Structure 1
Amino acid sequence: MIISWRPPKDDGGSPIINYIVEKRESKKETWGVVSSGTDHTKIKVPRLQKGCEYIFRVCAENKIGIGAPLDSAPTVAKHMFDPPSPPGKPVVYDITENAATVSWTLPTSDGGSAIIGYILEHSCMVAWENPIDNGGSEITNYIVEYREPNQKGWAIVSSDLTKRLIKAHLIENHEYFFRVCAENKIGPGPVVETKTPILAINPIERPGEPENLHIAEKGKTFVYLKWRRPDYDGGSPNLTYHVERKLKDSDEWERVHKGSIKETHYMVDKCVENKTYQFRVQTKNEAGESGWVTTSEVVVKEDLQKPVLDLKLSGVLIVKAGETIRLEAGLRGKPQPEVTWAKDKDATDLTRLPRVKIETTSDSSKFVLTKSKRSDGGKYVITATNIAEPPGPPTNLKVVDSTKGSITLGWGKPVYDGGAPIIGYVVEVRQKVEGQQPDAGWKRCNVAAQVIHTEFTVTSLDEKQLYEFRVSAQNQVGLGRPAELKEAVSPKEILEPPEIDLDASMRKLVTVRAGCPIRLFAIVRGRPAPKVTWRRVGIDNVIRKGQVDLVDTMAFLVIPNSTRDDSGKYSLTLVNAAGEKAVFVNVRVLGE
């Protein structure tokens, strides 16, 4: 959708230097920015949802600040043109054994856009006329049957037809005889049969495979596929496509869209960064699907590309004093390059000059200097940089958990990513040895796969040994400097004394009626896992008919078919190597 506006009548005493364009859906209150830097009074708004109603607003900006917005009326996003109206009724003539000429008149409306073509469809149908005599009773249905010439028995196409037309599902390139009879309340009448066999042929064949399937672009979590229409469409222009993907070493292909797609390109998103995938595409028409065309294996990640500038100027730019100097350069690079403009050898930041406006997007950079002076002449230099290097060390490396045979490390992302996204971490371990060289003896823990989270558990450790650990971050350039654990550590079981979280309903008097079950429960914690004991406080401290259970961190006591004798005080006790904890619950059973 393209929106336009006129400059404000009052510029506030200072020239308008910029417009800010925003949009929102009519049903929502939040505004989204379409453009925050344009000096034009017309802009194309991308990525609108078809059929959705939007409101747009524009603010003008001068040196002093941003003015009040101007809102548009609600507008529905739709194509500029409508589909054409139906053509005139088709007329068939010049019929031969294997061809026929079909003509029709132009549609009354082209929908606002020139007609680019027509789609002619046909199918094999069986039809017949009403019987001359209905036998004195209304016809209730028709029975249609078929057989191949080398067969004696007839097969039913349908036995309950009320219309005099049916589409028969037959085997391609086979000949068939057909016969039809009418039926009324008394029964079926005589049949009428075709005199010669009819050859069943499908005028449309399966299409060819897509051509030139390739990966046009890939990023952190997406792959953009492109291909060409097949050279052979099977006799049908109505081609669609299926796109699938699978992870390396997997046997299962996954469809990445619903239904079929008409375009010869597709953005496959929601991929897992640094995982290896394969992608495949097939063509489809009314006759079926083609074979698959498959890409080679590809690692989904953002590639690095040095900055490339394409200055859209040849020779010397000459302007008159007072006119505007406009310079523009195409821009490419991954990660997104930073752009600076300078004049001659002066390192002055041109962006601070009030007459200068620089607008840089993902694919271009524009330099505008208004009300030029003779002193503005000279050599202007544009520089794009996206220097990438290995990242800095991870932050806050520490032990977050430990057992007798394992240690779990946690850390934060590096403060500096090196100018490229972090793609993973390498965890290393070595036994502590006095006088050992700083880089000697280290072994990589995560050999099988890259660590993408900021936590890792190192297993198969000896509780009698001291270990040193270090973690390095990695980007697409390489491995950065490691962060080392401050002190050597030994694996050991972390002791946590028992804790009991008693539900609020358990802290008061628990009342149940006789015959109903008594249910007591609590959340329990502790390391190692504590021993759980339920008792009834009394002479023998024994629960005679209760069912005790422990599910994950929930401890239960259930006494079915309670009686008044089950009233009293119950205790829950936890015991482990770190300590002991107990709580009490009072229970009253009402009735007999």
Structure 2
Amino acid sequence: MPSKPAPIKKAAKKEPEKKEETAPEPAPEPAAEPAPVEEAPAEAAPAEGEAPAEEPTSAPVDLFVEDKNDNSVTIIWSQPETIGDSGLDGYVIEVCKDGTEDWKAVNEDLQKSSRYVIKNQTTGDRLKIRVVAVNEGGRSPPVTLPEPVLVKEVADRPKVRLPRFLRQRYVAQVGEKVNLTVPFTGKPKPEVSWTKNGAALDPKRVNIRSTDRDSILFIRAAERDDSGVYEMCLKVEGFEDKASLTLQIVELPGPPASVKIVDTWGFNVALEWTAPKDNGNTEITGYTIQKADKKTGDWFTVLEHYHRLNATISDLIMGNTYKFRVFSENKCGMSESAAVSKEEAKILKTGIDYKPPDYKEHDFTEAPKFTTSLSDRATTVGYSTKLLCSVRGFPKPKIEWMKNQMIIGDDPKFRQICVQGICSLEIRKPGNFDGGVYSCRAKNDHGEAIISCKLDVKPVPDADKK
């Protein structure tokens, strides 16, 4: 028994040996393959180096439709994941109608960017679209949209994007330009319409200009009649959206209807007035009250931004007669005219006996006194000179000029001036005989004072004469 299984093991060993024999039979084939490699190794090496340079890129990725309308389709994609050493020359975009395999390139030149607009298509056609990358190695495998594309603009629900400042009441003054831009979205281009208070707009007053993205409401010179609720309506293929804005045109208010003096007592006056008939199309924010004395007629403001319809004016001056006027105020400013009281308010004098205090009058009288003396001077023949001094005294002293104890008087050679106590004597072009002792004498009822100085007149040097 044990001798029999042994040959079975050997047989088992022979079977793998046969398998080994069968294995070397294909071995000569790989041996034949290296033989040519050995015969031309130099030729195989460049073949390996050139092969990657001539390989095309992998297929572009992430192809999808970015936008479309009635005659064009915009597609975008990403570049291939594998480009290789030869780089990427561009892309070819091909299309064919659904149900056919007639692929045609739509770009004459290679597309460099990863975005392309397929133009001049027929509305309603279904197109299959694919993109191929091209380099020196040839065309890459294409990337194709999963489903055919219908050439038709994508309907986007219209939406009015009303700016924040128009969601509240928009206020403008009479005469101002109104230029309001309201953006919107929607595809295809929405049909835009405007109404005012539910009625059609007056084209003579309001101009509407609409683009693909916004609508502009323009009024060249606003009037109060332009106030109201304006509604903007967008329509796209059965979809609709609306938005409204309130426009308020305001101006200065009119004056109060009337002003009257209710009571007068002491130094006070009570006034009452009524609200203006015209508030300028906006609420009245206050009143300004002014008073005027009958003597001067000048108006002075006593109250500003006052909210009530009555007021008490105090601190008036006894013995004066007053008139009052009231202006209206709103957000545009103060009314151009005012309501003036027909009556006048007279502040009566009370029985007060005024006794002025006894003041001892001050005696301002003073004898003349020189505060600045004359100074000795020297001059040259033919050159005018001045003598100056200052004096005080009350009553104003009388000034006399003397030369060598002789009063000069009205001699035209001398010019005498005395202003504000400053006394001057101008000697015009003195000669050789004008030198001497000059004196100034001041006197009034309380005394006199005199001062003197010496004037030396020198001849012109001989050199100057030559």
Which structure is richer in relative contact order (CA contacts within 8 A, separation 6 or more)?
A: 2
Q: Which has the higher helix share?
A: 2
Larger Rg: 2
TM-score range normalised by the length of the shorter chain: 0.3 to 0.5
